[in-house]
Amino acid sequence: MDDSSLRASDADRDRTAGILREALAEGRLTAEEHAERIDAVYGARTLGDLAPLVRDLPGGQGSADRTAAATASGTASVRPHGASVRPAWGASENLVAVFGGATRRGRWRPAPRTNALALFGGIEIDLTEAFFEQREIVLNVWAVFGGVEIKVPENISVRCAGSGVFGGFDVKTGEAPDPDAPVVVVTGFAVFGGVEAKPRRGKRLKNLRAVN
């Protein structure tokens, strides 16, 4: 079987996102190019989808072959098929705070993808009492001379694919002990601003298997 047709794992996507972060820091990619490619990374289903995103970057040459070899040898982390549901392109919600504020909290249902832009403003995203209707959600946040604060339950997995450019991107990552726990991926940029994501002490999802 052609290696490019192998299903991509979360570790494969995280590895590709790391190459893109390095390229951004070195000035090889603009912020817009990085954001566009990161979107594609977390929508990728196969190794063949990931390879073109880093083929023109240092560390990206032959990455699909190395990843496929790692997968075949069992050294790559592969989650069972169906354990993670990636967001559809159109399934998203937008939060915008321009010289003001925006908040999402309480008993709400996060979309598979939430885009948040804080421009000279502030955004609060509180997931501690949210209903998770899919295994994984992506928060794509931009803080430009503003701030985004994200609160999550203590017993879910949190991953980061974001960067700070003259700003802070402080995401407390961690893997939940329960493999069925929801996953929150925080991606985006902080430009002369700040993004913070951390567990809220004492807040836990009661039924980790309630999601689809």
Q: In what order do the strands lie in the sheet with 92-98?
A: 92-98, 113-119, 136-144, 183-191, 157-165
Q: Which amino acid is at 207?
A: N
DSSP conformational letter for 46:
B
Residue 202 in any domain: the answer is yes
Same domain, 66 and 130: no
- Taking the mean position of all CA atoms in its chain, how far away is CA 88? 14
Same domain, 118 and 63: no
* Residue ending a domain, choose from 23, 39, 73: 73
- As a whole number of Å, the end-to-end CA separation of the chain is 31
CA–CA dist 3, 47 (Å, integer): 7
Classify 15 in phi/psi space as left (phi over 0), alpha (psi -120 to 50) or beta: alpha
Domain count, the chain: 2
pLDDT in tens, the chain (212 residues): 457 788 888 778 878 887 887 787 677 888 778 778 887 887 888 888 998 999 998 877 654 444 444 444 444 333 333 333 344 444 678 999 999 999 999 999 998 889 999 999 999 999 999 988 888 889 999 999 999 999 999 999 999 988 888 889 999 998 888 888 899 999 999 999 999 999 988 888 876 654 54
CA–CA dist 181, 135 (Å, integer): 7
Residue 86 in any domain: the answer is no
Same domain, 16 and 109: no
CA–CA dist 129, 152 (Å, integer): 9
CA–CA dist 82, 135 (Å, integer): 9
Same domain, 164 and 106: yes
Whether the CB-CB separation of 178 and 155 falls below 8 Å is answered with: yes
Residue 80 in any domain: the answer is no
Domain boundaries, position 190? 92-210
Residue 173 three-state SS: coil
Classify 145 in phi/psi space as left (phi over 0), alpha (psi -120 to 50) or beta: left
Characterize the bridge pairing of strands 157-165 and 136-144: unpaired
Residue 153 in any domain: the answer is yes
Closest listed residue to residue 136, CA positions, set 71, 76, 197, 91: 91
Same domain, 122 and 204: yes
